[in-house]
Amino acid sequence: MVLAVAACVPAVANARRGASGRQASAILRAARLGSNPPVRCFHIYISTVNSSWATATFGGSLKGGCARVASNGVVVVHFKQGHWRFVTEGSSFSCPVPGHIPSRVQHDLRLACAP
């Protein structure tokens, strides 16, 4: 029984959720990924620890319309005063991750850093 409960803990700790629709489009606009980047080209996640934080990473094919927006990093945005706003971007971060991102949110959105 204890092992079954322990096996569930990581899933709860990393409970980010995918964004969709208007929310995903708004996050991409804030992410500064060029003009009108196709939503289908990205993995867009919202933190379940604090839903005012989100990330966008390239996840599309290099064929077709996605090639023009291809990247290997992550963009972090924050919903503040009614709008998603750019916070930081990169393919690797030093600790602490720039942008005053709460540590629980960093963990939830899988933002790793190197000391």
**Residuewise pLDDT in 10s, the chain (115 residues):** 433 333 444 444 568 999 988 999 999 999 988 778 889 999 999 999 999 999 999 997 787 788 888 888 999 999 999 999 999 999 998 888 899 999 999 999 999 888 7
Per the domain annotation, does 115 fall within a domain? Answer: no
The total of other beta-carbon atoms located within 10 Å of residue 79's CB is: 18
The pTM (predicted TM-score) of the whole model is 0.82
Residue 21 backbone class (left: φ over 0; alpha: ψ -120 to 50; beta: rest): left
List the domain range (segments joined by +) for residue 94: 15-108
Per the domain annotation, does 34 fall within a domain? Answer: yes
Spacing of C-alpha 56 from chain mean position:
4
Looking at the chain, how many residues does it have?
115
Per the domain annotation, does 55 fall within a domain? Answer: yes
What's the domain count of the chain? 1
Is residue 19 within 8 A of residue 40, CB to CB? The reply is no
Q: CA-to-CA distance for 60 and 25, rounded, in angstroms?
A: 15
**How wide is the angle at C-alpha 80 spanned by C-alphas 85 and 90, nearest 5°?**
35
Per the domain annotation, does 114 fall within a domain? Answer: no
Per the domain annotation, does 30 fall within a domain? Answer: yes
